[in-house]
């Protein structure tokens, strides 16, 4: 099939409404997820584990509870990818939002180790696993509802709204913990840390109102029409088809996303733990710096995604990865100075270059999979990456730092390595998407560029 004859569903009636729905839902889900990450770095080690354990083991245990949530994210991607590819994007996103919100609210009510002993960390792990399954189906659906409703040639910009939820969620989460920290350390450790988790209930209600009223993706509607005519558009088992026909694309996507996922936790959760635990820096100072960085990410991501639609998403992502390589060592080096100005400056610089990854990478990944298995394909890439690089990154960083006698260099070197691999894989992923667009096998951003817009 020639590029000019490739079927292209028209953009939905309200691409901005779809983008806002993606933003609202992902903001809430990532708020819940980052709340756990922040609490794992500064609270859970003291609240949910035996006081007679060494500080190192308690910190490692806290980050282990953070990591277990990533173990079930690929399963969540398979489950909700199946539903999303066969039933629809909209219904799937409502389910994931409710699951995530309920688990986070329950974490805010958990008893401590001092109250119930070993049952406390067990309950924490169970709820973390529920979070993992829910978030496993969130990102793929949010990206698709935004990208598939986007006008031609603007997929990166509209796709960035789903990723902006990460910035908003991080901002709200870090801001909530910073606010509760103002009540003093004793109050914060006693009950203040619970408030950010309990507050998620209000946010979930807002997100549900937005998502329930959302229309289905036009690509999904087009597939339903084609299924009625050909009885062959919707895959019986999308995950089987992905593994049979697109497993290489999944693997390339995993490594292309590694810095955007695992790298993020290295420069946030691990940096927070390393700064407070190893260098005895102020919690409030680091939390405030991360809050400012989240503001910056929120501000620049749409602009960088707008640029990506004009110069090429892969070029913007590769430039961002190169920036991470340059800043990896300085990011940790300045912590030793104790200078608030230098620490915050490097936090902002690192978040600026990482912002180049978040919005554009979604549109690149969507290009690589056919529409009827796309939810499953991009979810698997993203969630396997999160399981391997996201969940283990803080854990590995803590272990490597301890093995290196408290030095940061192994973590910085690892960040540089995965970014270099990411550059190669991003370029390859772009070539796969472009080839598919010209073969007529996809209706993604590359196809939008390959197929002339009707006048």
Nearest to 400 by CA among 409, 387, 391, 390: 409
Q: What is the pLDDT of residues 29-45, one digit of tens each?
A: 778 878 888 888 788 88
| Residue spans per domain, the chain | 13-216+235-450
Per-residue pLDDT, averaged over 319-342, amounts to: 94
Per-residue pLDDT, averaged over 176-201, amounts to: 90
Per-residue pLDDT, averaged over 143-163, amounts to: 84
| CA 54/CA 402 separation, integer angstroms | 13
Question: Which pLDDT belongs to residue 256?
Answer: 93
Fold type of domain 13-216+235-450: Growth Hormone; Chain: A; (1.20.1250)
Question: Which pLDDT belongs to residue 8?
Answer: 40
**Residue linked to tokens 């004009």:** 310
pTM over 0.85: no
Question: Which pLDDT belongs to residue 318?
Answer: 96
Per-residue pLDDT, averaged over 383-406, amounts to: 82
Question: Which pLDDT belongs to residue 436?
Answer: 64
Q: What is the pLDDT of residues 243-272, one digit of tens each?
A: 888 889 999 999 999 999 889 888 888 888
Who contacts 73 (Cβ-Cβ below 8 Å, separation ≥6)? 132, 133, 135, 136, 383, 384, 386, 387, 391
pLDDT bin (cut points 50, 70, 90) of residue 12 is very low
Question: Which pLDDT belongs to residue 231?
Answer: 52
Question: Which pLDDT belongs to residue 439?
Answer: 56
Per-residue pLDDT, averaged over 189-197, amounts to: 92
Question: Which pLDDT belongs to residue 438?
Answer: 54
Distances (CA, A) of 91 to 96, 142, 434: 9, 11, 30
Burial class (CB in 10 A: 0-12, 13-18, 19+), 71: middle
pLDDT bin (cut points 50, 70, 90) of residue 440 is low
pLDDT bin (cut points 50, 70, 90) of residue 310 is very high
Question: Which pLDDT belongs to residue 11?
Answer: 44
| CA 392/CA 44 separation, integer angstroms | 17
Question: Which pLDDT belongs to residue 422?
Answer: 95
Question: Which pLDDT belongs to residue 34?
Answer: 80
Q: What is the pLDDT of residues 336-383, one digit of tens each?
A: 898 999 999 999 999 999 999 887 888 888 888 888 888 899 989 988
Who contacts 228 (Cβ-Cβ below 8 Å, separation ≥6)? none
């Amino acid at each position: 099939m020639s590029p000019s004859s490739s079927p292209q569903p028209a953009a939905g009636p309200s691409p901005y409404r779809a983008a806002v729905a993606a933003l609202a839902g992902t903001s809430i889900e990532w708020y819940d997820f980052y709340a756990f990450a922040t609490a794992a770095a500064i609270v859970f080690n003291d609240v949910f584990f035996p006081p007679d354990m060494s500080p190192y083991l308690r910190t490692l245990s806290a980050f282990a509870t953070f990591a277990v949530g990533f173990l079930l994210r690929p399963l969540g991607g398979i489950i909700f990818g199946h539903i999303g590819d066969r039933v629809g994007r909209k219904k799937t996103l409502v389910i994931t939002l409710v699951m995530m919100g309920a688990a986070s609210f329950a974490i805010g009510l958990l008893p401590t180790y001092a109250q119930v002993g070993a049952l406390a960390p067990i309950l924490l792990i169970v709820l973390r696993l529920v979070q993992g399954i829910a978030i496993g189906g969130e990102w793929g659906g949010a990206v698709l509802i935004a990208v598939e409703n986007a006008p031609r040639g603007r997929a990166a910009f509209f796709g960035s709204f789903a990723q902006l939820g990460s910035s908003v969620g991080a901002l709200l989460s870090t801001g909530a913990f910073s606010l509760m920290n103002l009540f003093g350390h004793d109050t914060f450790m006693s009950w203040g840390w619970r408030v950010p988790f309990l507050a998620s209930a209000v946010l979930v209600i807002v997100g549900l109102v937005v998502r329930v009223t959302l229309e289905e993706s036009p690509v999904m509607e087009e597939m339903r029409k084609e299924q009625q005519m050909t009885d062959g558009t919707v895959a019986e088992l999308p995950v089987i088809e992905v593994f049979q026909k697109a497993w290489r694309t999944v693997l390339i996507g995993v490594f292309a996303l590694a810095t955007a996922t695992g790298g993020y936790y290295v420069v946030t959760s691990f940096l927070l733990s390393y700064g407070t635990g190893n260098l005895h820096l102020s919690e409030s100072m680091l939390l405030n710096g991360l809050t400012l960085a989240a503001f910056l990410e929120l501000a620049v991501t749409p602009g960088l995604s707008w640029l990506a639609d004009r110069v090429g998403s892969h070029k913007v992502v590769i430039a961002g990865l190169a920036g991470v390589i340059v800043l990896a060592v300085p990011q940790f080096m300045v912590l030793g100075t104790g200078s608030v100005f230098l620490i915050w400056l490097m936090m902002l610089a690192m978040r600026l270059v990482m912002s180049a990854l978040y919005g554009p990478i979604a549109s690149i990944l969507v290009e690589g999979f056919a529409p009827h298995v796309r939810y499953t394909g991009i979810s698997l890439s993203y969630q396997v990456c999160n399981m391997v690089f996201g969940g283990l990154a803080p854990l590995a960083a803590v272990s490597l730092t301890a093995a290196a006698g408290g030095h940061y260099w192994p973590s910085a070197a690892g960040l540089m390595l995965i970014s270099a691999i990411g550059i190669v894989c991003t370029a390859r992923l772009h070539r796969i998407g472009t080839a598919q667009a010209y073969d007529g096998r996809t209706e993604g951003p590359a196809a939008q560029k390959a197929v002339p817009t009707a006048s």
